[in-house]
Homo-oligomer: A and B are copies of this chain.
Amino acid sequence: MAFVSLFLFACGEKKTDIQGSVPQQTYEWKLVTAWPKNFPGLGRAPETFAKNVERMSNGRLKIKVYGEGELVPGFEVFDAVSGGTAQMGHAAAYYWKGKIPAAQMFTAIPFGMNAQEMNGWFHYGGGIELWREMYEPFGLIPFAGGNTGVQLAGWFKKEINSLDDMKGLKMRMPGLGGEVLKKVGGIPVALTGGDLFTSLQSGAIDATEWVGPYNDLAFGLYKAADYYYYSGWHEPGAALEFIVNKASYEALPEDLQVIIEVATRAANQDMLDEYTARNNEAMQTLMNKHHVVMRPLPADVMQGLHKASIEVMEEHAATDPLFNKVYQSYKKFQAKVTEYHQISEFEYYKNRSMVSQ
């Protein structure tokens, strides 16, 4: 039998010993995250991923998931995995903007692509290749790690009636969205999720974005702000990331490498499915139980933010060659996919809405 087995798998990596069985080495990995342990959506993805990997590998690769701060703070996930403190991380690429401004584009661009479009770019538009190239010098391999869908514009203590109302507004708004806010006269404030409620309640900030109803309800933001604006613009499909320490990955046998790759892909979709299913119930609770006023942002605000967004992107691209390289790829893909979605996804939403009235 041994000879037959060897023959059948001659082109693979499998090493068959003379008993026709494979030596089993086991691995124990740490996965650090930027979210509270088991946080809905964001925090569930790495848990499901780790469970799947352990089961697919028959226990040969066990991955222990750490919540934010359990092993390292959320903003240190990148360094922890790069330095080998943990073999994997789950976070959002725009958290590393201080190190690599261009990384922000792998999370979201204001007025950019939504979840479906981002996934098309990552896997069939060259996005993931650019991402890998960018993280290579840090000894990291990135994988798409889920998506929240369109994020809402956020919670405001006062009504927004025109672009002028954004002037002087102290708002928690990370990444490129924050730079856009600044350009229209607002004051972006950097805060982690856990500090949002008290900062909003105390008046340290006038407004904050977070994710959408599913996550925002859990933080109780409705108790501290009267208005919830839904016209999403700053993160139209925020992508999360899995990062893997390259040396640790390359030390694995090929089957475990593929198991990680395929399990991240499944987790990438699973998170979006969870948000898609859960946001509406949370929105109903916010509106009906907590009497939250939900409304769109005025057209002139959206136009002003869009104009500022283009300026922010072009300024980065003009001064940072790496930023420019990713931006050109992103922009080209977005232009094409938008053209098609105009007559397919958008057209369908429009028609379905029209006939249902």
Q: Which residues of A contact B (CB under 8 A)?
A: 5, 8-9, 12-14, 16-17, 19-24, 26, 52, 55-59, 111, 114-117, 119-125, 149-150, 152, 212-213, 230-233, 236, 253-255, 258-259, 262-263, 265-266, 268-270, 272-274, 276-281, 283-284, 294, 296, 299, 302-303, 306, 333, 336-356
Question: Given contacts A262-B262, A343-B230, are A116 and B117 in contact (CB under 8 A)?
Answer: no
User: Measured between C-beta atoms, what is the minimum distance from A108 to chain B in Å?
Assistant: 12
User: Measured between C-beta atoms, what is the minimum distance from A237 to chain B in Å?
Assistant: 9
CB pair A355–B58 under 8 Å, yes or no, is: no
- Interface of A, secondary structure class, is helix
Question: Given contacts A23-B20, A273-B119, are A254 and B55 in contact (CB under 8 A)?
Answer: yes
**In the complex, chain B residues whose CB is within 8 Å of the CB of A254:** 55, 58
Kindly identify which residue among B21, B123, B272 contacts A24, using a CB–CB cutoff of 8 Å. B21
**In the complex, chain B residues whose CB is within 8 Å of the CB of A23:** 20-21
User: Measured between C-beta atoms, what is the minimum distance from A274 to chain B in Å?
Assistant: 5
Task: For the complex, give the distance between the alpha carbons of A205 and B278 in Å.
Answer: 44
State the copy count for this chain.
2
User: Measured between C-beta atoms, what is the minimum distance from A222 to chain B in Å?
Assistant: 16
**In the complex, chain B residues whose CB is within 8 Å of the CB of A281:** 336
Task: For the complex, give the distance between the alpha carbons of A149 and B341 in Å.
Answer: 10
CB pair B8–A26 under 8 Å, yes or no, is: yes
User: Measured between C-beta atoms, what is the minimum distance from A214 to chain B in Å?
Assistant: 10
A265, A268, A277 — most chain B CB neighbours (10 Å):
A277
Kindly identify which residue among B9, B22, B55, B343 contacts A255, using a CB–CB cutoff of 8 Å. B55
CB-based nearest B residue for A53 = B262
Can you report 28 A-B residue pairs in the complex whose CB atoms are below 8 A from each other? A5-B26, A14-B58, A19-B21, A21-B23, A22-B24, A52-B258, A55-B254, A55-B258, A56-B255, A58-B255, A119-B269, A120-B276, A120-B277, A123-B273, A150-B344, A230-B347, A231-B348, A232-B344, A232-B351, A265-B266, A266-B266, A269-B269, A280-B340, A281-B336, A296-B347, A302-B354, A303-B355, A349-B349
